[in-house]
Structure formats: structure tokens, C-alpha cells
């Protein structure tokens, strides 16, 4: 389970579930690519404030459970992960490049969702609602 990341001016727990499909959904993720992806992700951790809590691969897509800091937007986070892993997989597993035409490892798209540490969206909404003196609370907006 993720811990809070404590910095000089903030404490955060930003955890994302990211799914990246391979280009054309080609089944190019082998055991060698699995090992390579794991090693690349550990190297990314050393250079960036990005921490891989879990990585799981199927033959045509990879799930990343990632924790980071507010320095990176979600788009930047995914760009870092996809660009570095693609370049290194092609360099270390040249047989993969032969399976994919166009020189790209990942599709342009992805799936991303936030992951709560110990609560749900409903619980947070209730917490916000009950802050301060309940009689002073004014609900400004509720998305239905």
C-alpha cells in the first residue's frame, strides 16, 4: 500500500492506475519484455519522482499502479512512462520492433483512473459536507 509523500510544503498521496495498450494491440509482450519493462520502470524511479507500486502485463497491454507528486500532470506522467519504456524496449528487445510497423510501441491512447488510499468518493463528499459547524455549511455544488 502507498505511503504519503512528504515534501517541504505539501503532503500527497497521488496514486494512478494506468493501462497502456501496445500499438495495434499486437501481442508483443513476452517474458523478456516483461523483465525489460520492470527494469526500465525501476530506472525511471531513480530519475523521477514516480514510484511504481505494481506492474502487470498481458500480451498486448500493461497495467501500471503509480504514485507520484503534484509536479507532474497526468499527461506528463504518462508521457514519461510511455516514451522511456518504448525507447528502451526497442533498444533492448529489437525483435519487438520487427513486429510493429511505424516505430511505435504504445498506442496513442491510454486508460487512467485515480486510486483512493482508504476512502471512497462518497466518503470524501460527506467529509467535506460536515466540515466546520454544520449549520454554517452551504453546499455550493453537487454533481448528480
Question: What number of CA atoms fall less than 13 Å from residue 119's CA on the CB side?
Answer: 9
21, pLDDT greater than 70 = yes
* Domains, the chain: 5-117 (3.30.70.1290)
pTM of the complete model: 0.83
The Cα–Cα gap between 45 and 67 comes to: 10
DSSP for residue 30 = -
Q: 114, 66 in Cβ contact below 8 A?
A: no
The Cα–Cα gap between 64 and 78 comes to: 10
> Read out DSSP for 123-135?
HHHHHHHTSS-GG
Residue 93, SS3?
A: coil
Convert the pLDDT of each residue in 25-58 to its tens digit: 999 999 999 999 999 999 999 999 999 999 999 8
86, pLDDT greater than 90 = yes
Per-residue pLDDT at 103: 84
Amino acid at each position: 500500500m502507498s505511503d504519503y509523500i512528504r515534501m517541504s510544503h505539501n503532503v500527497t498521496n497521488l496514486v494512478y492506475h494506468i493501462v497502456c495498450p501496445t500499438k495495434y494491440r499486437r501481442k508483443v509482450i513476452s517474458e523478456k519484455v516483461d523483465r525489460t519493462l520492470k527494469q526500465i520502470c525501476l530506472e525511471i524511479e531513480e530519475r523521477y519522482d514516480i514510484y511504481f507500486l505494481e506492474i502487470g502485463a498481458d500480451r498486448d497491454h500493461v497495467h501500471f499502479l503509480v504514485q507520484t507528486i503534484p509536479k507532474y500532470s497526468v499527461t506528463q506522467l504518462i508521457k514519461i512512462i510511455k516514451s522511456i519504456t518504448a525507447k528502451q524496449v526497442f533498444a533492448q528487445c529489437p525483435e519487438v520492433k520487427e513486429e510493429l510497423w511505424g516505430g511505435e510501441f504504445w498506442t496513442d491512447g491510454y486508460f487512467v483512473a485515480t486510486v483512493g488510499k482508504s476512502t471512497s468518493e462518497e466518503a470524501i463528499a460527506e467529509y467535506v459536507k460536515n466540515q466546520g459547524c454544520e449549520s454554517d455549511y452551504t453546499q455550493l455544488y453537487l454533481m448528480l
